[in-house]
A = this chain, B = another copy of it.
Amino acid sequence: MASNVFPLFEPIRQELEEVEKALGRLIEESAEPLNRILNHALLDGKRLRPSLVILSGGLFGSCGSAGPILDLAVAVEVLHTATLIHDDIVDDARLRRGKPALQRRFPTGVSVLAGDLLLVRAISLVSNLDCPPVSRLFLQTIFSICEGEIEEALMPRKTALKEQSYFRVAELKTASLCSAACEMAATLSGGAQSHVKALQHFGRNLGIAFQIVDDVLDFTSDKKTLGKETGTDLRRGLVTLPAVYYLQGAGRDNPVSRYLSGAKSRRGLLEALRTIRSSGAIEASMAEARKHVDAGRLMLKELPESGPRETLLSLADRVVDRRF
């Protein structure tokens, strides 16, 4: 359950339980063996994005335990799961949410199709809300996620990366959905334009911070804590923010460049990881994440004080403090 993962979600425990039930119904509607596939994919998420929807709706008095806000929360989690399934195929990831990645348990082709099914399911849920601006934003967001994933997949893998390219991909593939989750919930709840904008920027900053911390944890955490393997980005030649920062300050011949451009030995990888960890690049990345969280928190201060606002503010802090 999501509320076990993030204790700060206690105020929206009931709403999150409704999200779990709705996901459960979606699984049960499918016949064997598709229901087992969807069950494997949909369970055990952190439920960050549906929480953003519920809390953003709550700011305007919308209830997340039934009605449009709940449907939107479910749609956002279903979309997120669909993108994770396809993302894990792109990366050939081994673990996800503490279990084997879907394409390691079921044929790759079936995993592709299960992702498609969830994608269409998410779009249908949003389409049934009969709120054209929300539908448009949702489709635009999926498009951005695809663009970001494609840009990342096609990035050169052997050289340094511009900071700008890293942030562009983080914006497209991660921040876009966090931003849209907040903006769609505010729009659906009839929030004033200035409040909708504030929440959009909050979500965007939170999303970028979340991605940076995700990339940092790939260097600093371990498989058991994270529920997925670590050290994978560099192993796949993917230059994330800690590596970007390290390479900005390093000379031409260094363990990271040697690993990226040379044969990919286990020993070379461990040396490159160690080098980045002890270079100050992790701290610089975390400072950047904190900067985005602070910018996001500032945006929220434009909204009147309320319980959901306090939870969103704590959530922002939690994103940089998290260990998983």
Q: Which residue of B lies closest to A32 (CB)?
A: B154
**Any B CB within 8 A of the CB of A287:** no
Contact between chains at B121 and A109 (CB < 8 Å): no
**Any B CB within 8 A of the CB of A142:** yes
Q: Cβ of A136: which chain B residues have Cβ within 8 Å of it? A: 127
Would A107 and B143 be within 8 Å (CB), given that A112-B90, A116-B86, A136-B127 are in contact? no
Q: Cβ of A112: which chain B residues have Cβ within 8 Å of it? A: 86, 89-90, 112, 115
Q: 1/0 per residue A69-89: CB within 8 Å of B?
A: 000000000000000001001
Would A89 and B109 be within 8 Å (CB), given that A139-B123, A150-B34 are in contact? yes
**Any B CB within 8 A of the CB of A113:** yes
**Any B CB within 8 A of the CB of A153:** yes
**Any B CB within 8 A of the CB of A33:** yes
**Any B CB within 8 A of the CB of A284:** no
Q: 1/0 per residue A131-150: CB within 8 Å of B?
A: 01001100110110011011
CA distance in complex: A132, B90 (Å): 34
Which of B113, B124, B143 contacts A86, CB < 8 Å? B113
Instruction: Give the contact-size bracket for chain A.
Output: 35 or more
Contact between chains at B146 and A113 (CB < 8 Å): yes
**Any B CB within 8 A of the CB of A8:** no
Contact between chains at A113 and B150 (CB < 8 Å): yes
Which of B107, B117, B120, B146 contacts A117, CB < 8 Å? B146
**Any B CB within 8 A of the CB of A275:** no
CA distance in complex: A287, B153 (Å): 47
Q: Which residues of A contact B (CB under 8 A)?
A: 33-34, 86, 89-92, 107-110, 112-117, 119-121, 123-124, 127, 130, 132, 135-136, 139-140, 142-143, 146-147, 149-150, 153-154
Known A-B contacts: A34-B154, A124-B139, A124-B140. Give 13 more (CB < 8 A).
Answer: A34-B150, A86-B109, A86-B116, A89-B112, A112-B112, A113-B146, A113-B150, A116-B116, A116-B146, A120-B139, A121-B143, A127-B139, A130-B132
Sample (11) of A-B pairs whose CB atoms are under 8 Å apart: A89-B108, A90-B107, A90-B109, A110-B150, A114-B150, A116-B119, A116-B146, A116-B149, A124-B140, A124-B143, A127-B139
